[in-house]
Chain A
Amino acid sequence: MLFNSYPFLFGFLPIVLAGFYALGARNREWALLWLTAASLLFYAWWRPVNVLLIAPSILINYGLARAMERTGQDKPGHTKIILIAGIIFNLCFLGYFKYLNFLGGALNDAFGTGFVLTQLVLPLGISFITFQKIAFLVDIQAGRVSRFTLRDYGLFVLFFPQLIAGPIVHYREMMPQFRAASCRFDATDAAVGLTLFSIGLAKKLILADPLSRLVAPLYGHAAAGVPQSLTEAWIAALGFTLQIYFDFSGYTDMALGLARFFGIKLPMNFNSPLKATSIIDFWLRWHISLTRFLTAYIYNPMTLALSRRRMALGKPVFGGRNTNLSAFLVMLAMPTLLTMLISGVWHGAGYTFILWGLLHGVLLCVNHAWRLIRPRFWPDTKRYNRRMAPIGFLLTFLSVVFAMVLFRAPTVSAAVMVWKGMIGSYGAALPQAVFARLGVVAEGLTALGIHPAWTSGTLLVEATLRIGVLLLIALLMPNTLEMLAPYEPALGVKPAKDPAWLRRRLSWAPSGAWAVGVACIALAGILSLGELSEFLYWQF
């Protein structure tokens, strides 16, 4: 069931909320049980058979966690073995559905083997759910989870606002909230939730979806091997970047808003990533809960293990400006590349995602290296940041847009076609209609390599306007977290000490003016409900 569908908005959500508040007034436990059951129904809606997959996996994980809890302090060795078994189980579960086909295909390509590929249907949200389950087991081993019941665990895994595409949450940040939740209607929570949800819905349906219709034919052409002119290629790259930006940002706002109806605050996931002034900064703003997971459970343990080995061998460790090349390569570049490779593979089983992950890994390494080299000739960090921020922003933006092509293109060769178009390999082009009106000038343009294109003048104008307006929104407007900051829209969000003028003007308050504004946004969103369009991140 999509958040942006009639059955969800006018059937499922009102019924679940009414039941939750009504039960909460009598008994909190019933309300939470109701929420867990509703979440299971939400999951089953799409393909009921998936419940038969997710339910046993929840039970097995719960059993493993209980076993770890029992061995706990007395036999840490046993706990570790159960943990490893649990991680392997969860990874195999994910691997079977997500990667088996890709692996078979890759082996067939490479060695001419004849593995028969059957198209398994990927259970919705499995990548997100798997990460969350692994994190839970690791947290048990680390002693970060004190007590839990099957209902607690089931609710943690299934909580429908963040079930399909995150934010990826930790048990220790969710369960205390569920335990403390009043499970009753709260006017402030409802107002904040409604605002977040309405803005998210509008972002998805009004801002992101039209771009999808705009860029789809362009990637179709690239896949078919049709060369793209400079303008077309840039429309494809910028258009998709903004599409996924508003799609994911909209999804995240809706997830935060839905959780808030139940009195629950989800962690930050999206914080104006296109405003980033470095690639490191970008990853601290885009899909924050994934970066947090990858650093805590993959990057940090890997770096720690590698450096301890180096220390044992008596080699110097990474120490910033005193670092030598080998320490940089082993302790920073290697874990970064591996982590981003895993991130790429996690997003999808395909060469484009692997390449996308590696590309971001390389960009992060360059960023880290620059951070080390720069102070040697420009020691004043504050001044450097002030002066060079615009250049940092531009480089980051272009890198992100270039890499995003891999996220959308169906094959690597299609992505290369778009990239070649972006650097002008296939020349520039103007719409046929514009060309026809230019007369003699057109001949001169042809001599310069500018030729008439299939795109209509209307399409060009529409694309330019849409991309321009959305860029301005993404780069200049305060985001929803900033607008709602005094009401903690996401866990740990605090109001800025000295907000800029626009942010002060657009700071949300429970007032009549905002009620009318948000109602208009919600109405515009609901009126745009039409053909169902999935969230891009639901495919992962």
Chain B
Amino acid sequence: MSDEQERLTTLTQILRDLLGDDSIVLTAATVRDDIPGWDSFSYINFIVAVEAEYGVRFRIADVESFPDVGAIVAAIGTAARR
């Protein structure tokens, strides 16, 4: 499994736990509007959980402007290398 696929699986599990919904499946193209209940309030908790999982820190400016899940996956890569 590629790095990206592995991260998507982990992110999916994090969001399932966060929203209590096991039917969620994230892809790189998923945007927040696609997932019922994934509103601006629960978004930041998702980011926090991702930071905790990977031991990375995103820039707050980036957090506000991730266009889709793929961008978060990519940012985990860059943040881990930093």
Interfacial residues, chain A to chain B (CB-CB below 8 A)? 141-144, 280, 284, 291-292, 295-296, 299-301, 303-304, 307-308, 311, 317-322, 331-332, 336, 364, 368, 371-372, 374-376, 379, 381-382, 385
Contact = CB atoms under 8 A, between A and B. Distances in A.
Most buried by B among A296, A376, A385: A296
Interface of B: 14, 16-23, 36-37, 39-41, 43-45, 47-49, 51-52, 57, 59-61, 63-65
A131 to B, nearest CB: 15
A144 B36 contact: no
B48 A307 contact: yes
Q: Main secondary structure on chain A at its contact with chain B? A: helix
Given A303-B48, A318-B49, A372 B40 contact: no
B29 to A, nearest CB: 17
B64 A300 contact: yes
Contacts of B64: 142, 296, 300
Contacts of B65: 144
A311 B60 contact: no
A379 B20 contact: yes
A332 B45 contact: yes
7 contacts: A142-B60, A284-B40, A295-B44, A299-B44, A307-B48, A317-B52, A319-B17
A381 B60 contact: no
Contact of B23 (A311, A332, A371, A381): A381
A144 B44 CA distance: 19
A234 to B, nearest CB: 31
Most buried by B among A144, A311, A318, A374: A318
Given A284-B39, A304-B60, A320-B19, 17 more contacts: A142-B59, A280-B39, A280-B41, A300-B60, A300-B64, A301-B60, A304-B44, A307-B52, A317-B48, A319-B52, A320-B45, A322-B17, A331-B45, A332-B45, A374-B20, A375-B20, A381-B36
A92 B60 CA distance: 25
B11 to A, nearest CB: 13
A296 B49 CA distance: 18
A379 B41 CA distance: 21
Contact of A143 (B18, B36, B61): B61
B23 A303 contact: no
Contacts of B23: 381-382
Contacts of B17: 319-322
A141 B21 CA distance: 37
Contact of A317 (B36, B37, B49): B49
B78 to A, nearest CB: 15
Nearest to B22: A379
B51 A308 contact: yes
A142 B61 contact: yes
Given A300-B44, A303-B45, A331-B45, A144 B39 contact: no
A338 to B, nearest CB: 14
B13 to A, nearest CB: 10
A299 B20 contact: no
Contacts of A371: 19-20, 37
A385 B40 contact: no
A372 B51 CA distance: 20
Contacts of B60: 142, 300-301, 304
Contacts of B59: 142
A418 B36 CA distance: 37
B36 A304 contact: no
Nearest to A320: B18
Can you list the 3 inter-chain pairs with the closest CB atoms, starting with the nearest?
A: A375-B20, A142-B61, A320-B18
B20 A372 contact: yes
Contacts of A307: 48, 51-52
Nearest to A322: B17
Nearest to B65: A144
